[in-house]
Every structure is written in structure tokens, then in C-alpha cells.
Structure 1
Amino acid sequence: MHLFRLDASIRTTGSVSRALADTAEQAWLAEHHDGVVTRRDLGAQPLPADAWTALARAAVDPAAPPADEARQLVDRLGAELLAADAFLFAVPLYNWNLPAQVKAWIDLIVMHPRLGLHGDQPLAGKPAVLALSRGGGYGPGTPKEGWDHVTPYLRRILGEVFGLDLHIAEAELTLADVTPAMAPLRGLAAESLKAGHEKAAEHGLRVAELIRT
């Protein structure tokens, strides 16, 4: 069995999204001891920022320079997804939105002839865990309700454009322990983190079971 894991946090230690993904991955590997995990770490190794621009320009401007390197990159990124049986995406919220490195990855993936908007959804129905972390609180009734622009976007891309069977584990208020003004929220933050890891373990196991049957 083959799991594709994508990380996006710029933090290699202390990252909540990475920690949630670790929990999900461990649960998955417990069921697939010989499973293969392909990793792409966009936080540590961002994709070239000009790759999508080069491809898009070449598509609309006959006089544009060739974009062979960008096309080869799209092929490699697409091959990673097409080879996988299950998926694990670990994404933090930065400035109320998607990290730039994740948007760059998505923009390139949707240029792939099979995975993009006009493809045949070869990933449809395959299971995926989405591990999300948010520094503040964005639930109903909070001051920042509606400011989380990551979760709905990824639901659309991963769940509808790619057709993945998406299972979400999330933790909020992750900055409470290091932000004095958020000190009264530290109890809630601990509860959210605990629930996030529980969901990550549950979803990792569920995804493992789904690809075994």
C-alpha cells in the first residue's frame, strides 16, 4: 500500500499540523507495516514560484519562452499522486489563508492533464486525511468566524476537483501557549489539540481500512 504525504508548515519542529499528520501516519502504518510513504515537504522545499506563471504564459502566448521544466515538474507532481492509494495533507492556516507554497502546488497540479479541471478524476473515491492547524479560533460565534479561508478551499479542491474521500482532523488556538493575550484560552487549546490527535488517529486507521477492503 502506498501513502502520499504532503506537509506545508514552515516549522520543522513544533508544528501542530505536522504532529497531527504524524499521528495519522502512525495509525495508517500500524495497519500497513510494509506500506510505502512518499513525502513532499513544501515547507522545507517550496516549489519554484514562477513555474505556474511560465506554464500559463506559454498556454496563451505563442511568443512566450518554452516552459519545458515547468511541464516536467507538473508531470512529477502528478505522478506522485497517481501512484498513491491514500493521502495525508498537513496544512496550517497562515494569515487567514492557504500557505503560498500549497497554492503553488495546487496551481501546478490543476495543470496536469488528468488531475486538473478537465481531467477524468483518477483519484476519485480514494481516501485522504486532511490535518489542519489554526493559531486562533474560527468557530461559530467567535470574533473571527468566517476568516478561515483554508478549510472550505481545500474541501473544494481535494474533495470536489480531485474527488478524494476526505476525513478532517483539526486543532485550533495553537498560539495560545505562546501568546499572553490568549492565556485564558489555553484550556480550550489543549482540548482542541487532544481532540485533533484523536481524530487524526481515528482517520488514519479508517483510511487504512478503506484501502484494505
Structure 2
Amino acid sequence: MKLFHVDASAKRETSNSRALARFFIENLRSQGVEVEVDYLDVTVDTPEHVTQAFAVATYRAENERTPEMKATLAASDALCKRLFAADAFLFAMPMYNWSMPSTFKAFIDNITRTDLTYKKAKNGELIGQLTRQKTLFITTRGADLRPGTPYSSMDALTPALKTAFRFVGVNDPRFVDAQPLQFSDQAARAAALMRAKEELVDVAAEWAAWEYARLGLEALEAA
């Protein structure tokens, strides 16, 4: 399995989202899955924020782009190529002020590309192209935003991620959210992390079964 793994936490050794992502990959490998990780830390290699030049170039037909336009889009093109090459996506991030880190928003802006990650059909419908990959979002939240809690209506992260990735073809992503962490006592934090780990063990088992089925189908097709 080729796994494209993106971390977006500004923290390093103390990051819960990074630790949970590593925990998930370890569990996936413990299921016997051969995992080839393509890793990106957007806090270190942050995609360029959208500029006027980028906006102009991305909507120009590929055969009409100048060398300058092609250079402007080169890093974005490379990111999109990595997405298409992957069999699965793992995106790990904290919630910052109800939504995603700005570094990950820059990543989304760079991989939402007309005639590349989404295309327009003859009837005008926009069709996302990243339809074959499994997708998992691991998020960490300071407060408890689960349904039925006082802050549940303030979760702008989940709908934003679902909308952005549905646009490029990811229609059924999985979410594992560790919460509450920052604004809770030690027992509540420990319980939140344990719940997340239990969910990740289940997701790893599901992905392993999917990977074995996928490889089996490829073997039959090659026979």
C-alpha cells in the first residue's frame, strides 16, 4: 500500500495528532500490510499560499500556459502527482480555533486543481478524480465537540474537510477525533486518546482487509 501521510501540527514531540498517526501506521503494518509511506510535513514544507499568478495560471488551458505559468504551478503539480500515485491518504492535524491549521489549508488550495484533481463533464458537472484512495483524517481537539456537547456546533473542521475533499473525489473519508485534550483534566485526556486508539485499531483492520482484497483482485486480473 502506498500511503500519502501528511502531518499538520505545529508541535513536534508533544503532538498528539502525530503520535496517533504513527500509532495507526504501526497497527496497519501489524496486520501484515506492506506500507510504503510518502511523507509530508506541511509545517516544514509548507505549500505556497495562492497568489494572483497561481490563480491565473491554474485556470489557463495547459497547452496555453507560458513557461512562467508552468513554473508557478510546478510545486502544485508535484503535490497532485503524489496524490494520484497513492493508494490511501492519512491526514493528521489539530483543530486550531475551530478549523484546520493554515498550513493544511494551503495544501488544500494547491491540490484543488481544475482539469487535474477535478474535471468538468460535458453536462457541466464537476467530477473529482481522487476516487480510488482510502482516506483517514486524524484530528485532535482541545474541547469536546462531539454531538450533544455544548460546543458541538462550533466544529467547523469536519465539514470543511469533507467539503474540500469531496470536491476532488473523496466521498467516504473516515474521521477519528481525539477530544477533549487541552481543556480537560488528565483522566479525560487519557480517555480521549484511548478512544481514538481503539477506533484506529478498527480502521487499521478494515484497511488491511481492503488491501488484501485489492491485491487479490489485481492478481486475478494479471493472471
Output the TM-score relative to the length of structure 1.
0.83
Superposition deviation, residue 162 in structure 1: 2.3
Equivalence for 1:198:
198
Equivalence for 2:11:
11
Superposition deviation, residue 35 in structure 1: 2.7
1:137 to 138, 144, 147: 144
Contact 2:5 2:89 in 1 (8 A): yes
Equivalence for 1:212:
212
CA offset digits 1:169-190 (Å, max 9, x no partner): 11012114xxxxx43xx33322
2:170 paired with 1:168: no
Equivalence for 2:55:
56
Superposition deviation, residue 99 in structure 1: 0.9
Aligned residues: 204
CA offset digits 1:143-177 (Å, max 9, x no partner): 3221111111112223453225422211012114x
Structure 1 unmatched runs, 5+: 177-181
Contact 2:33 2:211 in 1 (8 A): no
Contact 1:126 1:165 in 2 (8 A): no
What RMSD over aligned residues (CA atoms) do the two structures have, in Å?
2.6
2:117 paired with 1:77: no
2:101 paired with 1:99: yes
Shift of the 113–30 alpha-carbon distance from structure 1 to 2, 3 Å rule, reads: farther
Shift of the 112–40 alpha-carbon distance from structure 1 to 2, 3 Å rule, reads: farther
Equivalence for 2:156:
149
Shift of the 149–192 alpha-carbon distance from structure 1 to 2, 3 Å rule, reads: same
Equivalence for 1:179:
none
Structure 2 unmatched runs, 5+: 61-65, 121-125, 214-223
Letter paired with 1:43:
T
Structure of higher RCO (CA pairs closer than 8 Å, 6+ residues apart): 1
**Corresponding residue SS for 2:152:** coil
Identity of aligned residues (%): 28
Equivalence for 1:158:
165
**Corresponding residue SS for 1:67:** helix
Equivalence for 2:216:
none
Shift of the 157–100 alpha-carbon distance from structure 1 to 2, 3 Å rule, reads: same
Shift of the 9–146 alpha-carbon distance from structure 1 to 2, 3 Å rule, reads: same
Output the TM-score relative to the length of structure 2.
0.80
**Corresponding residue SS for 1:146:** helix
2-structure distance, mates of 1:201, 1:80: 26
